[in-house]
Amino acid sequence: MKISYDPKVDALYLQFVDGKHEVTTLRLSEDVAIDCDPKGGVVGMEILSAHEHLKFAGHQPLMQFENLAVEEIAAV
């Protein structure tokens, strides 16, 4: 899974499946969309106006991970 945030446009993308895929985008609202593969599996999720929807309140959130095996950590 990959989490990307673009502060210039305040957009967050959660990519659940590695690689490029043919997707159909389902809009849940004006700011939230789900990308699905041809079989209906969820590939990713985009959240626009992320600070508003995720309640960041002007700061970068602290991320906590539970029950995940980390094989390699690389600085981006």
What are the tens digits of pLDDT across the range 15-49?
A: 999 888 899 999 999 999 999 999 999 999 999 99
**Backbone angles phi and psi of 5, in degrees to 5:** -130, 130
Give dist(CA 4, CA 48) in Å, integer. 12
> What mean pLDDT value characterizes the chain?
82
The residue with greater pLDDT, 59 or 41, is 41
pTM of the model: 0.73
Give dist(CA 57, CA 39) in Å, integer. 37
